């Protein structure tokens, strides 16, 4: 038996139903309902294993704000992000942008999830991307100067740190991120 401080804090999922053929055929409601039922079972299983375990799930920013992603689940009609946020302790938003504040920025595209988190006393973590995205290179820090990523993190945190519902920043993807941070650390240590 591990001491409480050495145990897992929680479980973090990233189920992306929009990559399935059914979603691409327009079966949003059916696939979303299956996702929500899966998360409901995960919530129950997690609570049964240890009531202190936290449950987190990653979602894209576009699960809110459009009729396509509004559905009834267990008698309640809400946007998909709200149903997921209701069942989880926190969510990570795939808010991939290299612009942190202002129109179409990471903060801007996450505003609905942040507002809902604030209203339900939950947390939202905004995410920044470091992998190559050939179709949308403007939303990733891949092959950019590590200083840009560090400055972006500082700018985003400064913008949101007093925002209710804001929990912090996730960085994706470790194998790309690590060399960037090592390069930034080496450069910082060599500064006078």
Average pLDDT, the chain: 94
Q: Are 181 and 147 in contact (CB under 8 A)?
A: no
**Which residue from 73, 89, 86, 75 is spatially nearest to 28, judged by alpha carbons?**
73
Question: Which residues contact residue 68 at a Cβ distance below 8 angstroms, ignoring those fewer than 6 apart?
Answer: 28
In the predicted structure, residue 192 carries a pLDDT above the cut 70: no
pLDDT digits (tens, 9 = 90+) for 130-144: 999 999 999 999 999
Q: What's the count of helices (H) and strands (E) in the chain, helices before strands?
A: 7, 7
Quote the pTM value: 0.92
> Which band of pLDDT confidence, cut at 50, 70 and 90, is reported for residue 65?
confident
Looking at residue 61, the DSSP 8-state letter turns out to be: G
In the predicted structure, residue 1 carries a pLDDT above the cut 70: no
């Amino acid at each position: 038996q591990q001491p409480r401080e050495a145990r897992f804090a929680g479980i973090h999922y990233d189920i992306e139903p929009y990559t399935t053929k059914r979603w691409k055929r327009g079966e949003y409601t059916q696939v979303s309902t299956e996702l929500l039922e899966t998360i409901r079972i995960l919530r129950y299983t997690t609570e049964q294993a240890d009531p202190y375990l936290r449950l987190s799930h990653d979602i894209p920013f576009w699960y809110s704000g459009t009729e396509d992603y509004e559905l009834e689940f267990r008698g309640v009609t809400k946007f998909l992000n709200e149903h997921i946020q209701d069942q989880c302790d926190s969510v990570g938003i795939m808010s991939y942008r290299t612009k942190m504040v202002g129109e179409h920025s990471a903060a801007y595209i996450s505003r609905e999830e942040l507002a809902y988190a604030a209203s339900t006393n939950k947390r939202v973590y905004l995410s920044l991307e470091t992998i190559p995205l050939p179709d949308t290179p403007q939303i990733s820090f891949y092959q950019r100067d590590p200083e840009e990523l560090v400055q972006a993190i500082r700018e985003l945190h400064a913008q949101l740190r007093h925002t209710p519902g804001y929990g912090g920043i996730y960085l994706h993807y470790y194998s790309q991120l690590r060399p960037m941070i090592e390069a930034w650390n080496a450069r910082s240590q060599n500064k006078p």
